Amino acid sequence: MKQIQQRTLIAEEQIQNAFRRGRKFIEVKPGTIVTAQAQDTAARLKIKLLENPPERAAVVRTSGSTATRRVLYRNNPSWEPPSRPVARKRQTIEKLVLIGVGGVGANLAHLAANASIANEICLIDVLPGAAEAVALDLQHASGITRSGTMLSGSTSLKSIAQAQVVVVTAGRPRTPGMDRSDLSQINGRIIRTIGESIADLASDSVVITVTNPVEEMTKLMLQTTGFPRKRVIGMAGTLDSARFRQSIASAAEVAVTDVQAITLGSHGDEMVPLASRALIQERPILEFLSESAIESCRAETVQGGASVVNLRKTGSATLAPAHATLEILEYMTGARVGIVPVSVQLSGEYGLDSMVIGVPCRLSMSGVYEIVELKLEAEELAFLQKAARAVRTRMEANWHGFNERLERRKIREDRLLQQSETRGTFCLCGRYDSHRKKRETACTAWYLCPELVYFRENPRVSAPSRCGVASCR
């Protein structure tokens, strides 16, 4: 059966409608019927009837984003489109080791397990039973959270073996009236001990230092492990930036999700909140806040950690640092993309060399793969360089005395190890002998010993000695 082809009819009414719309011609396609009245009306109104018109080129359709970019460029030729973040497939850490299960370590373990950041999380703490208890508690919680992460706890640094990422939170927290730099001597001993174990047992791992003071401890960890700078980073900028965003949101009375802000520099009084790059609802912060209000936000950010310490009396912040560390892990695994501020050793970036300071970076599973140099205002760049110099000055002052005591400890260590061949195992402060003191009375906070206590395992005993001196407790 033949298909009946429909034909188009052009009457006088179509000609009059075209005239009212201002058209000068009408296309007459093959097979179209034009009435005699329509032809007379077209001649009278001077409208041409084009038979067999040529085919028109296809209309090039432009996406909305491209059209917007063209409009912005025409309005301002110096405008540049923002760089699009490179999408990465999310990866999973095979083994994540958390050293120190205090407030930050325990909360980070909880967050990391729920986020499925790693297939295995190993907790290590010097206090017997502490790491094991947290691991068991999180295993019980997995019955509710349905987390498939394997969890384990230990007191031995040997559990670092085969770690892909090591997060170090171990150390003494701040107390009211104490500055972060006051912890350099005490926490420096902990970082040296841990760094040596990481270098021996997990030589391919990435280390994230959370212990205060962050920049000094990151530099010390870098020196102790001998790792490339990209594999030793400090957690500071993520926490400071979060506090800066919250302070701005509170001052402007907007949701914190509407605020974009970043903080560079040192994790302390020398931090550099970048007000010039802060945005509220994609608009400059000066459209919402006055200069005095912005300065107040800066001051509140700098004193954010001290405010928590003054309220708690016996410790420092735990929840916000744990979330800030998790953010770094998410950027490493590809769960988030973009730049994130972390403390890393610079090599010419921002006019600084061989200094550890907080700067924006792009992260991957191998650590830092790009240090992003932002176009800072002259005043902000000067503050950043001043912060780096302040960190270096503190390190030189603190490590000079520390290295001298370290040399004396090595001499005392050699002497005591020679005596241990006949007398047993000793604490290196020289005041604990395993033959005269009961092992169960040993100090569980050996890393706080003011006498630079280090322990060695004697081949003749199965467990290392612990210091029984009251001053070490």
Each domain of the chain, given as residue ranges in start order, spans: 9-51, 414-472
**164-173 burial, b for 16+ CB within 10 Å, e for fewer?**
bbbbbbbbbb
pLDDT at 439 over 50: no
Q: Out of 9-13, 27-31, 237-241, pick the least confident.
A: 27-31
Helix, strand, coil percentages in the chain from 3-state DSSP, rounded to 5: 45, 15, 35
This model's pTM is above 0.75 = no
Give the three-class secondary structure for 299.
Answer: helix
Mean pLDDT score, 10-20: 86
The model's confidence at residue 360, banded by pLDDT at 50, 70 and 90, is very high
The residues near 85 (Cβ < 8 Å, ≥ 6 apart) are 337, 338
Q: Is the pLDDT of residue 115 over 50?
A: yes
The predicted structure's pLDDT at residue 114 = 94
Alpha carbon distance 129, 141 (integer Å) = 18
- For residue 47, the model assigns a pLDDT of 86
Task: Kindly tell me if the per-residue pLDDT of 196 is higher than 50.
Answer: yes
Distance CA 256, CA 242 (A): 9
Name which residue leads in pLDDT, 347 or 428. 347
Closest CA to 45 of 22, 73, 72: 22
Q: Is 267 a catalytic residue?
A: yes
Please report, in angstroms and rounded to a whole number, the separation of the first and last CA atoms in the chain: 102
Residue 27 near residue 1 (C-beta atoms within 8 A): no
Mean pLDDT of the chain: 80
Check residue 365 and give its pLDDT. Answer: 94
Give the tens place of pLDDT for each residue, 40-55: 888 888 888 888 766 6
Among 465, 179, 128, residue whose Cα is nearest residue 310? 179
Number of alpha helices (DSSP H) and beta strands (DSSP E) in the chain: 12, 18
Q: Are 278 and 285 in contact (CB under 8 A)?
A: yes
- Average of per-residue pLDDT across 448-473: 36
Of the listed ranges 63-67, 119-123, 149-153, the least confidently predicted one is 63-67
> 342: which strand partners?
359
pLDDT for residue 343: 93
- 336: closest CA among 370, 361, 359, 363? 363
Percent of the chain past pLDDT 70, that is, above it, reads: 76
Kindly indicate the confidence band of residue 462, based on its pLDDT and cuts at 50, 70 and 90: very low
* Other beta carbons within 10 Å of 352: 19
Tell me the pLDDT band of 449, cut-offs 50, 70 and 90.
Answer: very low
Q: Sort strands 283-284 and 279-280 into parallel, antiparallel or unpaired.
A: antiparallel
Q: How confident is the model at residue 435 (pLDDT cuts 50, 70, 90)?
A: very low
Out of 110, 140, 267, 400, the active site residue is 267
Task: Note the pLDDT of residue 427.
Answer: 46
Spatial contact of 236 and 219, defined as CB atoms under 8 Å apart: no
Label residue 464 by pLDDT band (50, 70, 90): very low
How high is the pLDDT of residue 107? Answer: 94
Cα dihedral 214, 217, 223, 228 sign: negative
Confidence of residue 345 (pLDDT cuts 50, 70, 90): very high
